[in-house]
Amino acid sequence: MRVFVGFSLLAVLALGSNAVAENDSGETKLIANLTSDDPRLVTNALDDLAARPSTNAMAVARKLLSDPRPFVRKKAVRVLCAMHAPLDPDEIKAICRMLNSYDQSEAENALKALRDLNAPETIPEITPLLKSSHKALVRDACRTLAVLGNKDLIPLIEPLLNHPDPGVQADARSAIASLQTRN
């Protein structure tokens, strides 16, 4: 009986250590891919991170928010904000820099990501986009402000009720309705 228990314990320990070793090698591979030169490997690794969150890999992924490669940056912000990853002020600043990108899709991406972060300090960086010539950006700015802001923002959004685009008008109306309930 004792021998049987002993063997069982050994088997459990062996299986456990195997699982830990597999996890470790999985994380090592994930981190290696996150730091790869190939943007495709990096973005696939970001998807893997979203599926299987890991603290060490998350720390590496956070550095990608200021990566010079636009595609990598966009993907990193999308994944990390959807995961509600804890970000430090410099990383939030990196997301705010994306709001000024020449690439409209990068700015839209950053606006959508900011909705997932509890970062009201970014509001002054968002409000200039209410005057953007790109209506998609104006609409996303309304939606983001509706999530992050309070009723003090209503005077800034009100002029958009007369915007020539009905979509912008609708988002402005909905943002004002949300903000009216918040102090």
Partner 1 sequence: MKTKLIRLLPVLPVCLLISGCATTYKPGAPVPKLTELPDFPAGAKIALVNAQPSTEKVQISQSGTGYTVYANMHDWTDSAIRAMERTLKKKGVTVAGDSKNSLKIAVTKGTLSIAGSGWVFRCTVVFTIDTGDGQPFTLGADDTSWKWMNACDGAIQKLVLVALHDERVVKALAAP
Site residues (vs partner 1, CB under 8 A): 37-41, 67-71, 100-102
State the minimum distance, in angstroms, from the CB of residue 72 to partner 1: 8
> Closer to partner 1 at the Cβ: 30 or 64?
64
> Closer to partner 1 at the Cβ: 68 or 155?
68
DSSP string, 116-164: TS--GGGHHHHGGGGG-S-HHHHHHHHHHHHHH--GGGHHHHGGGGG-S
Distance set, CA 43 to CA 31, 58, 60, 114, 131 (Å): 12, 13, 13, 20, 32
State the minimum distance, in angstroms, from the CB of residue 66 to partner 1: 9
> Closer to partner 1 at the Cβ: 17 or 100?
100
State the minimum distance, in angstroms, from the CB of residue 101 to partner 1: 7
> Closer to partner 1 at the Cβ: 106 or 171?
106
User: Rounded distance, CA 43 to CA 142, Å?
Assistant: 29
What distance lies between CA 9 and its chain's CA centroid? Answer: 43
State the minimum distance, in angstroms, from the CB of residue 82 to partner 1: 21
State the minimum distance, in angstroms, from the CB of residue 131 to partner 1: 15
> Closer to partner 1 at the Cβ: 4 or 102?
102
Contacts of 23 (CB under 8 A, 6+ apart): none
Please report how the helices 70-82 and 104-115 are oriented relative to each other, as an axis angle in degrees rounded to 10. 20
Question: Based on the number of CB atoms within 10 Å of its own CB, is 160 exposed (0-12), middle (13-18) or buried (19 or more)?
Answer: buried
